[in-house]
Amino acid sequence: MLCAAWPQIEGSLASTRRVAELFLEGFHGNYGALTRPSWIARWTGLAENHCVVAASNVQGGASEQAIEAWLCALTAFEVARRLADDSVPENANVSAKVDASMQTFTPLLHELERVRIVGCEQGEFHSYYLSAARPGLCAPAVICISNEDETEATLLARLLPVVIGRSTSILVVAHSSISNDWPGQSELILSCCFDYLSARPDVDATRIGVYGEGWSAVLATNFALAERRVAAAVCDGGLWNWARTQAFNDWMMNATSAIDESTLSRRRSRLARQLKCPVLVVAGGRGMVSVPEAIKLEADCAEAGVDLELAMPRMTRTSVGEFENFVAADECIFEWLGRKLTRRSAL
């Protein structure tokens, strides 16, 4: 079915993202007669074609059409990047093309700023801010923290196609900018990010959330625990801290005494109950949370009346690993954030 759908890709962002979603859901190592490198080349070529269209629209003064074509390119580049993992040489080539397109077309987004976050003990650092506010109105905002092996620009390139047009602003920061060795410093740095957003006239300070990927999900949990002003959190729900505590307990007890499930449930949900904002835990895929533990945590929190939901990105297994359907996953995450932050405004 995908081969039939491929020629129907249009210039619209919705069409490109729909075909990308179908492709990732149906990819199984080799698709039809094409090998994995062939698919990487095909998606990269599609992205480059969209960049050509975007450049042509810029020359013709059609900035809105140029932006949409570029967002199509970013989506196609991200599919190629998912296929071209670190084990294949195409990875660096795709990443370089993404960086080049970002440098060429980000000036078209007048709502996008390169901003400095100051006031932190380790000094200032830069991040990206995309405003969704309309004139005279404030919008909710989300601090988005990249995975540990990604820059803020890489995360921004993936998020732009899903967040533009929504009513939520984003501040995109790199994991390396906020991760530190000693306890508590990451929370202080993220507090600087929160204070920066709170001081902006286009941000509703009562509707600021946090979203962390991979190990950054742990940082997002710790920040939501430390900063009671956080209105919603996409994080690990405290499962990493629970796992460390459980491993320590097992070591102390030499695993000689069995612990009943009710005790485990209480320990598992202890940190989650301390979170005073709605929580979305992403299990599997880009998340570092295991699906079984996340399911148990969700059940524990439901029983305790904690507002915690679980998202499990669709995965496609291949002979060389798994691919996450990032299109569907990102839509799910930002729909959840938009819903929770909108409800927050009505309280």
* Residue ranges of the chain that CATH labels 1.20.1440: 2-107
Instruction: Give me the pLDDT at residue 253, please.
Output: 55
Q: How far is CA 297 from CA 140, 149, 328, in A?
A: 28, 27, 23
Of 146, 166, 171, the residue nearest 158 (C-alpha): 146
| Terminal-to-terminal C-alpha distance of the chain | 46
Burial bucket for residue 69 (CB in 10 Å: 0-12, 13-18, 19+):
buried
Q: How far is CA 25 from CA 39, 103, 208, in A?
A: 14, 31, 32
**Residue pLDDT, tens place only, 285-324:** 766 678 888 899 899 888 888 899 999 988 876 655 677 8
Instruction: Give me the pLDDT at residue 304, please.
Output: 84
Amino acid at 67: I
Count CB neighbours of 86 within 10 A: 7
- Tokens (6 digits) for 319: 């002979």
* Residue ranges of the chain that CATH labels 3.40.50.1820: 111-346
The span from the CA of 70 to the CA of 75, in Å, is: 9
Question: If you count DSSP H runs as helices and E runs as strands, how many of each does the chain have, helices first?
Answer: 13, 10
Write down the H helix ranges in 109-260: 152-163, 175-178, 185-199, 216-226, 239-253
Q: Are strands 125-130 and 169-173 parallel, antiparallel or unpaired?
A: antiparallel
* CATH number 3.40.50.1820 is the correct assignment for the domain at 111-346: yes
Q: What is the DSSP letter of 35?
A: -
Q: What are phi and psi of 81, to 5 degrees?
A: -65, -35
- Reported as a pLDDT band with limits 50, 70 and 90, residue 198 is very high
Instruction: Give me the pLDDT at residue 269, please.
Output: 73
- Tokens (6 digits) for 146: 């990249």
The span from the CA of 268 to the CA of 200, in Å, is: 37
Contacts of 120 (CB under 8 A, 6+ apart): 188, 189, 192
Q: Using CA of residue 106, residue 107, residue 113, residue 114, what is the dihedral sign?
A: positive
**Residue pLDDT, tens place only, 230-269:** 999 999 988 887 766 665 455 455 554 555 566 666 777 7
Q: What is the DSSP letter of 193?
A: H
CATH topology of domain 2-107: de novo design (two linked rop proteins) (1.20.1440)
**Residue pLDDT, tens place only, 21-66:** 988 887 765 455 567 788 889 999 999 999 999 999 999 999 999 9
